[in-house]
Structure 1
Amino acid sequence: MRITRTSVFVDDQAKALEVYTRLLGFEVRHDIPLGEHRWLTVVSPEEPDGVEVVLEPNEHPAARAFTEALAADGIPSTSFTVDDVEAEYDRLTGLGMTFTQPPTPTGPVVTAVLDDTCGNLVQLVSAAPA
């Protein structure tokens, strides 16, 4: 058994595509029209055959309530590993991204939390410097 896809519920698929590709650096794996929505997945360019992130519409009331509650409580809905949280923080703030938590050492890792502008908080994590 393996994980091949995971969903991030977004309030706007077009905006999410822009954020997750142009700003966060993911690449489109699938973009298939399905009525008013799309089967839209992105992957890490470092692992193009790896786990796909489904940018899924949060149209279902339970999905919308869940993502809104997480964001209101400051809880990230997903987490991505990066080589250097400080460097990603600098790069992404330079591109206009807003962070709700700057790079913060938390034991063996450094974390930061950004607002993806699509209804989610996203945690970035890297190993703490030695």
Structure 2
Amino acid sequence: MLRINVTSVYVDDQSKALRFYTDVLGFQKKTDIPVGDASWLTVVSPLDPDGVELLLEPTGHPAAAVYKQALMEDGIPFTSFAVADLHAEHERLRGLGVEFTQEPADYGTVITAVFDDTCGNLIQIAQEKSA
């Protein structure tokens, strides 16, 4: 059976991204291995330190930059993170200066909000509602 081990988000600056994803979002650095001019730099949720790693991947390939720009211009999140209490997380992040492009919105079975990660991406947070 397959399982997701690593997924990635393209970032404009790995150091800046590491600060945002750890100091603001609350992830923990898992791996930092120099690879040429960049690093294999991953973070994990403190709730699951042995779980899926998020690779903070440099936007080095020209296609990646075009893709990111198109998503930003169209207001489409690059990825989504689950939260237990969206309203509380929204307030916590807003208090840390995070800019939201979509305030919390209730879609029946899920509540979502979207913020700018300061590294060239829109990120969605989502809370599944109980049945």
What TM-score bracket applies, with the shorter chain setting the length?
Answer: over 0.9
1:1-130 matches, cutoff 5 A: 1-128=2-129
Distance (whole Å) between structure 1 residues aligned to residue 43 and residue 98 of structure 2: 19
CA contact under 8 A between 1:9 and 1:63: conserved in structure 2? Answer: yes
CA RMSD of aligned residues (A): 1.1
Give the CA deviation at 1:27: 0.5
- The alignment's TM-score, normalised by the length of structure 2, stands at 0.96
2: CA distance, partners of 1:90 / 1:129: 21
How far 1:33 sits from its partner (Å)? 1.5
C-alpha distance in structure 1 between counterparts of 2:105 and 2:49, whole Å: 29
Q: Which amino acid aligns with 2:70?
A: A
* Structure 1 runs of 4+ with >4 Å offset: none
Kindly state the Cα deviation for residue 129 of structure 1 after the two structures are TM-superposed: 6.6
Normalised by the length of structure 1, the TM-score is: 0.97
Q: Find the aligned partners of 2:61 and 2:26 in 1 and give their Cα distance.
A: 28
Report the Cα distance in structure 1 between the residues aligned to 2:76 and 2:94, rounded to whole angstroms: 20
Secondary structure of the 2:43 match is: strand
Cα shift at 1:128: 3.2
Unaligned runs of 5+ in 2: none
Q: Identity percentage over the alignment?
A: 58
Partner amino acid for 1:91?
A: R
Which structure 1 segments of 5+ residues have no match? none
Q: What are the Cα deviations for residues 25-76 of structure 1, in whole angstroms up to 9, with x where unaligned? A: 1001101122221110000111111100000000100011101100110000
